[in-house]
Structure 1
């Protein structure tokens, strides 16, 4: 019988400690999982590209963003995750959703935040993922005009010396607030040409005359900003977009 020509790659079993064998087995298991995750992720990207062309995707003047759908997907997967993993799962799924959206066209984001710009950018990056094309806006009015033309999303700071939000009741009626960043009390809002039917379920964003005194509607409100008799606030009441209540969007 001819001599064996195979070269031994791993050390002989006698030279491998039980700890090394266990570590090698765990690494192999991770490699297998990585291969499976990659295959599933690429399948999801392919389906996301098809969704962009499907009949139920927003069309016409609206951006291809479905905050309601994103909210339901995120809520579902986070609820299934172990409590210790929920923060990691939310961050991962934001990236997954963001790259899926990029297959329908990269989300363009303009950020205006003269105070703590890093905080606003971090919130926007977490929301839209690394796939989003994010740039600084020179002023809020330029960002609003850009968003109103349907180019993308404007993320604008509130309580930053410019009451840009009043314009959502006036010249920027085509724009909707659809998210907020900065914690339970937002310090920045995301606005864009969102299909009203696709707004997330959650607190409604109100712009009303009357400052902190309110407008007599009886809605319980959480104030965010005021300017010359105008008030920006949130309410848990299920008010409709537009109308006498001054609803201009929702925050999930």
Structure 2
């Protein structure tokens, strides 16, 4: 083994001074260093490309945010399909961070989180979803967070397991906003929703989020519904039905 590979591990020793175990460890550490060098070069290359994407013709523009949940969903699904099953959680966490830092090359994402009950769950869900590159802070007023998102300044993450029916405004006051993700799952259902000025064409593929009058029963067409919250005869729910945001069915977004 060349002495140069040993110096970072045992700088004052020669191969003749090392035990077989130390030699094996030095070889593994040298291999890790080589892989790290390759990862660094590829990561920086990806960041450069992400910055160019922000300037491309098909990048988000106009009144919508730069977020493309559909693209993020495609990237993550592709990586998870290629990953070894035992590494799936690690791969998902890593790619969330990679995508987040790539997005930051187009400007830091601002996230406001409102969760009067169990705020840690909502904050951790937002951090996992948007990564360390995002600027995330807790706020005390869901309407202020919605106004912040409606101005296109960032996104809001709002708890739905509360007595505040802020979600009713998605059909009226905040109709320019769309739900594009949900996390903090309890019993398989989200406890917080991510809301922003998302291009409807960029929403993820998955269950639609609806705000409708009535309960959470199916519509008779075979599409199932899962109720998330209710208020004075109105229901926030998920559905398998293929709906378009803003249509007559009360669709206000989608969760991948």
Q: Same fold (TM over 0.5)?
A: yes
Tell me how far 1:215 sits from its aligned partner.
6.9
- Taking the aligned partners of 1:157 and 1:192, their CA distance within structure 2 comes to 14
Deviates more, 1:187-196 or 1:138-147: 138-147
What is the TM-score when the length of structure 2 is the normalising length?
A: 0.92
- Taking the aligned partners of 1:9 and 1:101, their CA distance within structure 2 comes to 40
Tell me how far 1:93 sits from its aligned partner.
0.3
Tell me how far 1:138 sits from its aligned partner.
1.7
Contact 1:211 1:227 in 2 (8 A): no
- Paired position in structure 2 for 1:224: 228
Tell me how far 1:16 sits from its aligned partner.
1.1
1:239 to 224, 240, 243: 243
Correspondences of 1:62-77 after superposition (within 5 Å) = 62-77=64-79
Tell me how far 1:112 sits from its aligned partner.
0.1
Gaps of 5+ in 1: 1-7
What is the TM-score when the length of structure 1 is the normalising length?
A: 0.94
Partner of 1:111, secondary structure, is strand
- Paired position in structure 1 for 2:127: 125
- Taking the aligned partners of 2:205 and 2:231, their CA distance within structure 1 comes to 27
- Paired position in structure 2 for 1:86: 88
1:29 to 22, 28, 31: 31
Contact 1:203 1:234 in 2 (8 A): yes
Correspondences of 1:149-188 after superposition (within 5 Å) = 149-183=151-185, 184-188=188-192
Rg (Cα) greater in structure: 1
Contact 1:211 1:228 in 2 (8 A): no
Runs of 4+, deviation exceeding 6 Å: 214-218
Matched, 1:207 2:211: yes
Contact 1:206 1:245 in 2 (8 A): yes
- Paired position in structure 1 for 2:7: none
Q: 1:169 to 1:9 in 2, by over 3 A?
A: closer
Q: How many residues were matched structurally?
A: 245
Contact 2:123 2:138 in 1 (8 A): no
Partner of 1:160, secondary structure, is coil
